Amino acid sequence: MISNNKRLINNNWWFKQKEDKEYNEVNLPHTNVELPYNYFDEKSYQIITNYKRDIYVENKEKRVFIQFDGVMTSFNFYVNDKFAGEYKGGYTPKFIEITKLINYGEKNSIYLEVDSSEREDIPPFGHVIDYLTYGGVYRDVYLYEVSQCFIENAFYDYKVSDIKNGHVELTPKVLINNKGEAGEYLLNFTLKHKDNSEEKINFTQVVEVEKASKWYYLEEIPLENIKLWDIENPNLYEVKLELFLGKEAKENCKLDESTETLGFRHLKIEGKGLYINGNKVKIRGLNRHQAFPYSGYAMPARAQRKDAEILKFELGLNTVRSSHYPASPYFLNRCDEIGLLVLEEIPGWQHVSSDEAWRNQVLDDVESMILRDFNHPSIITWGVRINESGDDDELYTKTNDLARRLDASRPTSGIRCYENSHLLEDIYTMNDFIHDGGEQVLRTRKQVTGLDKEVPYLVTEFCGHIFPTKRFDNEERLVEHALRHGRVQSESAKSQEHLGAIGWCAFDYNTHFDFGSGDRICYHGVMDMFRIPKFASYIYSSQKEPSQGVVLGPLTYWTRGERNKGEVFPIYICTNCDSVEVVLEGKTVWIFRRDENTLDNKLSGLKYPPIKIEASSGEWGYSWNEVEFKGFLDNKQVAVKKYSKNPVLKDLSVTIDDKCLKGEEVDTTRVVVKAVDQCENLLPFISGFISVETEGDINVVGPKQVALIGGCIGFWIKTKGKLSNKTAKINIKSSFGIEKTLEVELVK
C-alpha cells in the first residue's frame, strides 16, 4: 500500500517462542533467534514463534489495514482472537484489512503466529538452498487508517521521447480501493525535483471510480525539461498524489494522499549493450545477500542503506543483483538515490516443484515484487526464473507473461547456469563459473545461448564456490581471488557481447551445513560478513574514477615468509593512480607506470588494471626493508601506503559508520575494530579478543565478547527504541590492554 495515512508500529511488540509461557518486549525489525557467528544448527531458528501487540484506532470512519513488509516465512494473523489473514513467502509485503475486526476507541490485540520453518510448499524451499532465510518479523509493520476510498498503489509508467530535452510522457496507473460511493473523483498530481527546488508540475484528472479495488489508466501527461536519472546523476522526483471526492481539489473533500519517489530514464537493453539515456553502460556488479551476522535479515534501514553505499562508493560498482529475492525497500531506495542499478528477482534456488500451490506462489512472488517495486528507477530488469532452475516452459512462460503484463517498460531476465536453455526472457542471464584460474575466463554468448542472434547476454555470477576465500586466508590465495574477479571483469569489459558481469558475491554469508566451509559460512564475498574488505575488493574499488576517491591497494602483507618460497612478488597494486613509486628505507628505487611492463594481459580490459610489479623489475625486496608505495596522478603524489619491516601491535583502530542515531526506533550502525601496527596496517594473524560494553539506550548486536578474526572484527549497535538520554557510549576493552571509547548521539 502506498497511502501516506499510515503509522509505523515497530515498537512495543511482545514476543515468545511457541512453547514458552512468558512474552518478552521487543522492537522490530526482529529476528526470532539471535544466531552465533558460525557453527550453529540452522534448525534452531526454524521454529514457530508468537508476536503480539495492542493497537488503538479512534476514528470510526476509517478503514484499517496492517501491512507487514517482511515476515519470515509464513504466518497466521489474528485480531482480537479472530483469524484475519495468512501469508507465505517472506520477502514481499502483505497487507490485511482488519476494519471489521476492530473495536474503535478500545484496545485491540493483534497477534501473529509465525512459522519460520522451511515449508516445502513455499519457494525457495522443497530442496536445498545455499543461504539461510532466518525467522521473525524482520522488516517494518505499518498500521493504515484510510478513508473508504483510498490510493492502494500507483505505477508511474512513462516513456522518454527526447533524451536531450528531457521530454517524458507520463502515464500513471492508479489502483483505487473504494468501498464508498461510486462516482467522480479527482486525482491531483504534484511533481517536483527532490533537490528541494520550488518548481512544481501540477496536473489533475477526474476518474469515474467504481466501488471496487481497481486499476485506472490515466491519460498521458507530457513533461518537459525533466532531469533524467542515471548512474552518475541519479535525479529523483517526488510525486504527491491526492485523491478528492468530486471534481474539485477542495481540502474538505480530500480522501487520501500518497508520495512516491520517481526517476525518469531511457533504458534500452539489446544484444549490443545496455544504454541508459543513450549512453552505453557496461555492467560491473556483485551479488548481495541481505544477511548479517547474528541477526540475519533483521537489520533496520540504516544497515540496508549502508550496504548500497558500500557497493557503490566503496566498491565502485554500478550494479547489484539482489540475489535471490526482493531486497529491503530501504536498500532499493538508496540504490535509487545513489545511482546503483539493480537486477531484482523472485525467491528460489535451483528447485522447481511440481506442486500447484508452490508454482502459484512463484507467480504471486512475481506479482508482489512488481507491485511493490515498479517505481524504482534503479531496477532495470525483473528476474522471473528461480535462480539456476532447469527449463520449465510452462511455469516460465507464465512468469514472463505476468511480468510483461504488469510492466511493459522493463525487460525480463531469468538466471540459469547451463547452456542452451530455452530463452523465454528478454535477457539471457547466465551464471558462468567457467573460470577456474585457467585460460578460459568467460564463455561466449553463442556457446552459452546456442543462438545465432544477438540476444542481450549478461553474466550474473562467477567465482563464488569455484574459489572460496576467507579474509584470513594465505596471501597468495587472497591475491588469486582478486585476480579471478579482475580477469572476469576485464574480459567482460572487452567483450562486445556481454552486457557485463556480476560476481559472486559482495559479502560472505551464513548458509546451510551442506554448503560453504562446514561452519555455516560461504566465504565467497569480496568482503567478509562484517563488510570488511578482502584483497578482491580492491580490484573493484580501484575502478572508480580518482575523482570519486583515490585507491591505492597493494595486494601484499609485505612479509618475508607468508607466500610460498619466501617470495613477495609479483605484487599487484590495485590503484586508479597512474604511477606508483616504490621507496625502500627512504630511497626511491623504482617508478612503475601503467604500461606494458606492468600490465597483466588478462587484466587489460579493466579501465585501471592493477600495476604488476615483478621481482625482475629491480634488485630490491630481497634484503628485508621497510617500503612505501606512493601513488601519483599527473605527477602529483595523491596517496601513500607504508609497510613496516618489523610490524608490532601499536594500536586498535576503531571506526564507526555513523555517530548520530535515531533513538526512538531501532536504528543501527557498524563499528570496526582493527589491530594495527606502527604503519596503521592490519595485523592479519594476531590473536586476541575485545569486549564491548554500552552505556545509554543502545545494545550490542550479538555477543559482547568476540575474538578478532584475521586481525579485526566488526559489530553493530542498535538503539533500544527509547530516548532517555541524548548520548550513549561504547566502551571497547581488548586482550591487548588497549581500551577505546566511542560516543554516539541519539536524536528523535
Q: Which residues are catalytic?
A: 388, 461
Residue from the set 31, 73, 304, 387 that interacts with ligand GAL by CB under 6 A: 387
Question: Residue 485, interface with ligand GAL (CB under 6 A)?
Answer: no
The 10 Å Cβ neighbour count of residue 240 is 16
Task: Map the footprint of ligand GAL across residues 396-425, applying CB under 6 A.
Answer: 417
Among 145, 461, 475, 508, binds ligand GAL (CB under 6 A): 461
Distance (Å, whole) CA 367 – CA 370: 5
Applying CB under 6 A, the span of 204-212, 460-468, 578-586, 633-641 interacting with ligand GAL comes to 460-468
CB of 371 to ligand GAL, least distance (A): 25
Examine residue 351 and tell whether it contacts ligand GAL (CB under 6 A).
no
CB-nearer residue toward ligand GAL: 131 or 632: 131
- If binding is defined by CB under 6 A, does position 108 make contact with ligand GAL? no
Binding characters for ligand GAL, 15-54, by CB under 6 A (x = yes): ----------------------------------------
Q: How many residues bind ligand GAL (CB under 6 A)?
A: 11
As given in the structure block, the three cell numbers for residue 302 are 540504516
388 lines the binding site for ligand GAL (CB under 6 A): yes
Q: β-pairing, 341-345 with 319-322?
A: parallel
Residue nearest to ligand GAL (CB): 464
Least distance to ligand GAL, CB of residue 515, Å: 7
- Regarding 508 and contact with ligand GAL (CB under 6 A), the answer is no
- CB of 504 or CB of 540, closer to ligand GAL: 504
Q: 317 or 676: whose CB is closer to ligand GAL?
A: 317
Q: Looking at beta carbons only, is 471 or 641 nearer to ligand GAL?
A: 471
- The smaller minimum CB distance to ligand GAL, of residues 513 and 590, is found at 513
Residue 578's CB: how many other CB atoms inside 10 A? 17
Q: Is 608 in the site for ligand GAL (CB under 6 A)?
A: no
**Which residues ranging from 657 to 716 are in contact with ligand GAL (CB under 6 A)?**
none
Q: What is the DSSP string of 118-175?
A: --TTSTT-SS--SS----EE-S-EEEEEE-SEEEEEEEEEEEEEETTTTEEEEEEEEE
- Tell me how far, at minimum, the Cβ of 388 lies from ligand GAL, in Å: 5
- Rounded to the nearest whole angstrom, what is the least distance from the CB of residue 277 to ligand GAL in the complex? 31
CA 153, CA 258: separation in Å to the nearest integer?
Answer: 9
User: What burial letters (b/e) apply to 379-391, b meaning 16+ CB within 10 Å?
Assistant: bbbbbbbbbbbeb
Among 123, 339, 414, 464, binds ligand GAL (CB under 6 A): 464
Integer Cα distance of 108 and 104 in angstroms: 8
Supply 398's cell numbers.
Answer: 507464465
How many helices, marked H, and strands, marked E, lie in the chain? 7, 49
Side by side, the strands of the sheet bearing 82-88 are: 24-26, 13-17, 48-56, 107-115, 74-79, 82-88
Quick check: 229 and 265 in contact, CB under 8 A?
Answer: yes
> Which of 16, 465, 512, 563 contacts ligand GAL by CB under 6 A?
465
If you write DSSP's letter for every residue of 687-710 in order, what string do you get? --EEEEEEESSEEESS-SEEE-BT
Q: Which residue in 445, 524, 612, 670 binds ligand GAL (CB under 6 A)?
A: 524
The phi-psi region of residue 332 (left if phi > 0; otherwise alpha if psi is between -120 and 50; otherwise beta) is alpha
Q: Residue 647: is the preceding peptide bond cis (ω within 30°)?
A: no
Rule CB under 6 A: say whether 130 interacts with ligand GAL.
Answer: yes
The conformation of residue 533, written as its DSSP 8-state character, comes to: B
Lay out the site mask for ligand GAL across 314-333 (x = CB under 6 A, - = otherwise).
----------x---------
Interface residues with ligand GAL (CB under 6 A) are 130, 324, 387-388, 417, 431, 461, 464-465, 504, 524
